[in-house]
Structure 1
């Protein structure tokens, strides 16, 4: 008798893609990241669906994705996307999906920032708390030719002084005064999302342009308060403001392999993929 072997799903058939309704690659890329985030996938399935939430539609979509190439028509209807041939922003629809998801599920991505204003004269500190689903990092502020996420993170949380026309009103002093502003992370999200701000307004041409510089993303990121995050996925935009295409590259939590999700096409990447060097993704 031959030795019994367990059935193994071929890597090419392990994951399935999403059909593009016209120009909905921005939505497909975000949905694939959410599907591959096991904690989120289980959370939307666990919560009792309510009419105003999108959890039930996401659960149906994720169930379909485990079997075959899936459609996103229910999701686009729920999000009010009527012009499916119009390219939109992936980051915007990531937050839009979470805003339509039950709090129990969306809190996986939610953190909280505290903005501190410290009066330079009386040293009174004023704190304002606010939730976030992604941290925006400006690519133009960098210390090297390649943009380094580590530098961008330090820049985001660096204290800055305001004076002159930028003075801030102090309730204690009852007039404007110089101040120091800084931001601290009050609550660390379970999954941290970083938004690389590749588009800026060019006053020479009076239009938005894309910053097409290489970005170094560490596979392991240690942030203030010694919280550590492991990189497991990113969404790429190819093209410019007038047109382009989105794909998602995601690390499987089971076999630790990287997969590229390009609408209906899913490709397992070689272990020595070119974008990973010295524990850094480029």
Structure 2
């Protein structure tokens, strides 16, 4: 290799460097590691990247949107002449701050809340452009359902865990440090999302008696015309949960389906993602002030409830709820419990009538929180690309070994200690690779 070849290219080797692939870091604008880490994770989710680049190819773009800016960024990375380097996503960040004022400051936002906003907002843009028709420049092709499409034309209201464990972590980050002192506020949040002004959808939250898992979804306002068809966002990220409740008085079983874009998981010490999902689907008794109103009995009765996955999404996004309010400390803290996330994942908490119960997932990307608490820290991401594992720390990109992933499971003791822990996991279905 020549003298101008980067260290990363040397580590990978010219013979092993994937053809037509590019590994570019993203410049940090003083506080944007929360965005950079999520964007890198999404870029290496193959179905998502392909749809964004397809949007770029088809869209005539009469006006700038957050989706068009994202498409331009992905296209810029994918068409670079160099194999490695860095790009400043200035246009995307500028548009993001225009779309949502909470991001228009120099306080680092929570990466999960950014992910929720981005995915939902992209979906809203697609719906709005579809509703405007072909003259808007992107009225055909984007909403067409493929084989992995959603099984329902509308999305239900979101459910949120009864535990107040999601945090809006605001921190002031430095692109050269993995853990930086910050100034900010941590607010109690269910992880739901405020829809942007003029959007075609809104997000609501309802307390979920199961307490262990959260589904973040967006109900569509329009119920007819083109908006009744699923978008490619649905096709990639949307799954279905089914909630089964059995009245202990009359034995009547009622069920309700709810759609989700991502699942939020409570964390316990020395557990695994599989264990967390199993616990979510354990049967829970609804009693006392939490009784179930049985339509058959026409009164509130004790009942048993369980929630299972009915449709597994193409990309399964799992959010580990690392930020929790602790009464004894009178503040939010970071929970650095050790939670193992395997390279391969199969869900065992599926319903009896699940659409694709045997779906096997491969770990594709992990957004990692580095720091000691919700009010301070930094975000990085690790991704798998063509069999290689790479670490993206803003504009820096390094090759890592698969064994390094274990360093991000969490701590077995002293959970208040500064740590680098997996925060958002992206699992890609093997049948769409």
**TM-score, scaled to structure 2:** 0.57
Task: Please list the CA deviations of residues 187-241 of structure 1 after superposition, one character each: whole Å capped at 9, or x if unmatched.
Answer: 1100111111111111112111111122211111111323221112111101111
Task: Please list the CA deviations of residues 242-261 of structure 1 after superposition, one character each: whole Å capped at 9, or x if unmatched.
Answer: 11000000010x2x010001
Task: Please list the CA deviations of residues 24-70 of structure 1 after superposition, one character each: whole Å capped at 9, or x if unmatched.
Answer: 10110100011111211111222344769633222110122232522
- Give the equivalent residue in structure 2 for 1:244: 377
- Give the equivalent residue in structure 2 for 1:267: 398
Asked whether the equivalents of residues 202 and 209 of structure 1 are also in contact (C-alpha less than 8 Å), the reply is yes
- Give the equivalent residue in structure 2 for 1:3: none
Structure 1 unaligned runs (5+)? 1-6
C-alpha separation in 2, matches of 1:264 and 1:230? 26
SS at match of 1:99: helix
- Give the equivalent residue in structure 1 for 2:100: 80
- Counterparts of residues 114-193 of structure 1 (less than 5 Å): 114-140=242-268, 145-193=269-317
Task: Please list the CA deviations of residues 135-188 of structure 1 after superposition, one character each: whole Å capped at 9, or x if unmatched.
Answer: 111113xxxx41211110101122211122221111110111011111121211
Asked whether the equivalents of residues 22 and 77 of structure 2 are also in contact (C-alpha less than 8 Å), the reply is no
Asked whether the equivalents of residues 112 and 129 of structure 1 are also in contact (C-alpha less than 8 Å), the reply is yes
Count of aligned residue pairs for this structure pair: 266
Task: Please list the CA deviations of residues 86-138 of structure 1 after superposition, one character each: whole Å capped at 9, or x if unmatched.
Answer: 11111111111111223214531111112222211222233222221211111
Closer, same or farther in 2 for the Cα pair 1:84/1:22, shift >3 Å?
Answer: farther
**TM-score, scaled to structure 1:** 0.85
| CA deviation after TM superposition for structure 1 residue 270, in Å | 3.2
Q: Which runs of 4+ in 1 moved over 6 A?
A: none
C-alpha separation in 2, matches of 1:152 and 1:231? 17
Asked whether the equivalents of residues 40 and 106 of structure 1 are also in contact (C-alpha less than 8 Å), the reply is no
- Give the equivalent residue in structure 2 for 1:209: 333
- Give the equivalent residue in structure 2 for 1:28: 36
C-alpha separation in 2, matches of 1:179 and 1:75? 49
- Give the equivalent residue in structure 2 for 1:92: 113
C-alpha separation in 1, matches of 2:337 and 2:112? 19
Asked whether the equivalents of residues 98 and 106 of structure 1 are also in contact (C-alpha less than 8 Å), the reply is no
- Give the equivalent residue in structure 2 for 1:4: none
- Are 1:110 and 2:238 matched, yes or no? yes
C-alpha separation in 2, matches of 1:45 and 1:99? 18
**How well do the aligned residues superpose, as a CA RMSD in angstroms?**
2.5
Asked whether the equivalents of residues 21 and 84 of structure 1 are also in contact (C-alpha less than 8 Å), the reply is no
